[in-house]
Amino acid sequence: MKHTEVVKIATAKRLIERYFRQLTEGCGNSNCTNEFCASCSTCQPLGNNAAAAKALELFKVNAKLCDYYPSVESRSDENSRLRREMSTEEFSDVHYLTEHTVCRILSACEEEGNYSALVRVIGRIFSNADALMKSFRKEEPSAAAKTLNSLKSKGEEKQSDQSSEKKLSSSASSPDETPNGIPNSFESSVDIDAVRRVYDKLLSVDQVESALVNAIIYLTPNVELDLEYLDVYEANPDYLNIFIIVMENSNLHSPEYLEVALPLFCKAMSKLPLTALARLSKLWSTFGLPHVRRMMETFQQLITFTVVSNEYGVENLINDDETVVAATKCLRVVFYAIILGGEVDVEHNEEDDEDAESDELTLHELLGEDRLYKKGPLVDPLEKELSVRPIDSVKPLIPFEDFVNESVNEVIEMDKDFTFFKVNAETKFSFQSCPFILSVITKSQGLYYDNRIRMYSERRLTALYSMVQGQQPNPYLKLKVRRDHIIDDALVRLEMISMENPSDLKKQLYVEFEDEQGVDEGGVSKEFFQLVLEEIFNLDIGMFTYDSDTKLFWFNSSSLENEAQYTLIGIVLGLAIYNNCILDVHFPMVVYRKLMGKKGTFLDLRKPVCETYIYDVSLTSDASDVFGNVAVFSPHWA
Interior angle at CA 529, CA 528 and CA 533, nearest 5: 120
Phi and psi angles of residue 35, each rounded to the nearest 5 degrees, phi first: -65, -15
308: which DSSP letter? H
The candidate with the shortest Cα–Cα distance to 381, out of 336, 328, 339, 440, is: 336
Enclosing H/E stretch for 535: helix 523-536
Give the tens place of pLDDT for each residue, 338-360. 999 999 888 767 665 444 444 44
- SS3 for 98-123, per residue? CHHHHHHHHHHHHHHCCCHHHHHHHH
Q: Is 514 in a helix, a strand, or coil?
A: coil
Cα-Cα end-to-end distance for the chain: 57
Strands 393-395 and 508-513: unpaired
Task: Give the pLDDT score at 493.
Answer: 87
Task: Give the pLDDT score at 523.
Answer: 78
CB atoms within 10 A of CB 504: 16
Per-residue CA distances from 76 to 79, 88, 191, 296, 483 (Å): 9, 18, 40, 44, 92
Residue 238 CA to chain centroid, in angstroms? Answer: 22
How far apart (Å, rounded) are the C-alpha atoms in residues 290 and 282? 16
How far apart (Å, rounded) are the C-alpha atoms in residues 388 and 173? 19
Per-residue CA distances from 191 to 133, 172, 234, 264, 407 (Å): 12, 29, 22, 25, 36
List of residues 6+ apart from 588 with CB closer than 8 A: 550, 552, 554, 604, 607, 608, 609, 610, 613
Q: Contact 530/582 with Cβ under 8 angstroms?
A: no
Q: Contact 321/422 with Cβ under 8 angstroms?
A: no
Fold of 480-497+509-637: Hect, E3 ligase catalytic domain fold (3.90.1750)
Task: Give the pLDDT score at 563.
Answer: 82
How far apart (Å, rounded) are the C-alpha atoms in residues 580 and 525? 10
Hey, what amino acid is at 103?
Answer: C
CA 429, 431, 435, 437 torsion: positive or negative?
A: positive
The candidate with the shortest Cα–Cα distance to 529, out of 479, 461, 564, is: 479
604: which DSSP letter? G
- From start to end of 28-187, where are the E strands? none
Instruction: Identify the segments of the chain with pLDDT beneath 70.
Output: 1-11, 14, 67-90, 140-186, 348, 350-377, 470-473, 518-522, 605-638
How far apart (Å, rounded) are the C-alpha atoms in residues 362 and 372? 13
The candidate with the shortest Cα–Cα distance to 248, out of 114, 147, 435, 97, is: 97
Task: Give the pLDDT score at 151.
Answer: 40
Task: Give the pLDDT score at 301.
Answer: 94
603: which DSSP letter? G
List, by residue range, all CATH 3.90.1750.10 domains of the chain. Answer: 480-497+509-637
Enclosing H/E stretch for 309: none
CB atoms within 10 A of CB 470: 6
Structure pTM?
A: 0.73
Angle between helices 261-269 and 322-341 (to 10 degrees): 60
